[in-house]
Amino acid sequence: MARLALLSVSDKTGLVELAKTLVEEFGFDLISSGGTAKAIASANLPVTKVSDYTGSPEILGGRVKTLHPKIHGGILARQDLAEDQQDLADNGIRPLDLVVVNLYPFEQTIATAGVTLAEAIENIDIGGPAMLRAAAKNHAHLAVLCSPEQYGPYLEALRSHGGETPLELRQAWARAAFWHTASYDQAIATYLTQSVSEPGTGEAEALPEQWALTGRQQATLRYGENPHQTAAWYRTGSIPTGWAGAEQLQGKELSYNNLVDLEAARRIIAEFPADRPAAAVLKHTNPCGVATGDTLAIAYRRAYDADDVSAFGGIVVLNRPIDADTAQQLAGTFLECIVAPGCDRAAQDILAKKPNLRVLVLADLLTGPGQVVNAIAGGFLLQTPDTYRDDPATWQIVTEAQPTEAELAEMLFAWRVVKHVKSNAIVVTHHQQTLGIGAGQMNRVGSVTLALAQAAAKAQGAVLASDGFFPFDDSVRTAAAAGIRAVVQPGGSRRDDDSIKAANELGLIMAMTGVRHFLH
């Protein structure tokens, strides 16, 4: 008797070629359902509809078609067990040698603008996961394929092994099937958690009682943070989004550290709307220069000039598409990566003269992960990302000196930057350009000293932002001595009054935001 294959796929890529080879080269009989059967029949290939094979019509608008003993019996039967073979014979069931299934496009559905909960639920596959799990469980006796990428290797295995497939390949395909259903179920559970839950109000957003992370390997990386560490890049979901969906126009392959830096760059540029050009240069996830400008080229030059020593070998992120003028500026120094929402043809031609420079286009630089994960021994920590949008109208101006509209805008610029500097973080800015950044020090005074030393004489009339409160007035006095005009900080210390008193004594403006932005 001819071998039997069940084909039921949402993604029809490679379907006809697979079916044709199975029938004409290896003598398979085919059973299929719905659109898969139509596609095979339209190619003039013999196929039996599932409803004809089982003797049961599709019901409930197609919700029930493969959930039948003649299907699942053929999948789950053990070919080396006499009792199973007798059950097949008694019930007129043929054993299946191959199950090819991929699932309803749930993730594509929920990614569609305006999709309703009812539409999403209707695109939850039931029969497909059941067949995949059954076939994967019984991989000792049949093969299961869940991706068009597996069709070629499967056919080549048949040719190389006399029409059979090695057990190790069937095990690999079974693992892939279980991962496929696991990620599918996770996407559904995540969507239902987010869509049914009430949106967060107030300071804290509730996190689900259960949370899982699955990913599909996007690329193996040369190494991790250091050469002795192995690393790989995984994307979540079946649809490439975020960095997995970015277009790399040129340059060497991305490294682990590149990707970590690029995500830090994306987070900081998301603070600056595209209505005014903005640029940031980062090194080891910390910004070393951030600025706005009347043109993108000016914004980049100002960000670069903020710390041209640290900018060497850095990551550049821009909030507008790269034009020729900006490309000329970018080509003037050694950079690791550039990312922007676009890059025009003239700019591409200029940057192409530096073939090792990685240039990426990510149209959506605003959308990041919905959760931040940190692995610890025996588990992980989960938090929502710090996407809080600060509004100066909610700040308290706690000093006698009051800011002008321009000074308040400068304070907001500094506050947006300090949010993305490792704690303890201090940022000094003027005219929407960073002048000094103190990052990652064990005490705040050390960060203040570093930032002011870098700003030097340019600190006259500048703004200083701190990601944490000042427990003593020493930092305020140090800032005033350097020429700082205004200070913005979260407040909340028991000794806030000491800092306010010092600011008033020295004629400084001080704003307390009431929100803290630590970045460890």
Catalytic residue (choose from 137, 252, 431, 501): 137
Neighbour-count burial for 222-248, b at 16+ CB within 10 Å, e otherwise:
eeeeeeeeebebebbbbeeebbbebeb
Measure the CA angle with vertex 172, ends 168 and 177; round to 5°: 145
What is the rounded distance in angstroms from the CA atom of residue 205 to the CA atom of residue 323?
Answer: 40
Identify residue 221 by its one-letter amino acid code: L
What is the rounded distance in angstroms from the CA atom of residue 461 to the CA atom of residue 402?
Answer: 14
Closest CA to 419 of 277, 263, 261, 287: 287
Do the Cβ atoms of 360 and 248 come closer than 8 Å? Answer: yes
Taking only Cα atoms into account, the Rg of the chain, rounded to an integer number of angstroms, comes to 30
Which positions ≥6 away from 7 have C-beta within 8 Å? 15, 18, 19, 30, 31, 32, 36, 40, 47, 100, 101
Strands 463-466 and 426-429, by their bridges, are antiparallel
What is the rounded distance in angstroms from the CA atom of residue 366 to the CA atom of residue 343?
Answer: 17
- Strand extents, DSSP E, 377-470: 379-383, 396-397, 426-429, 434-438, 463-466
Token pair belonging to 353: 């003269």
228 annotated active-site: no
Catalytic residue (choose from 38, 284, 431, 501): 284
**Residue indicated by tokens 């990312």:** 339
284 annotated active-site: yes
Closest CA to 173 of 194, 193, 152: 152
Do the Cβ atoms of 430 and 452 come closer than 8 Å? Answer: no
Measure the CA angle with vertex 146, ends 141 and 152; round to 5°: 85
Q: Give 73-123 as a DSSP string.
A: HHHH--TT-HHHHHHHHHTT-PPPSEEEEE---HHHHHTSTT--HHHHHHT
Known catalytic residues? 137, 284
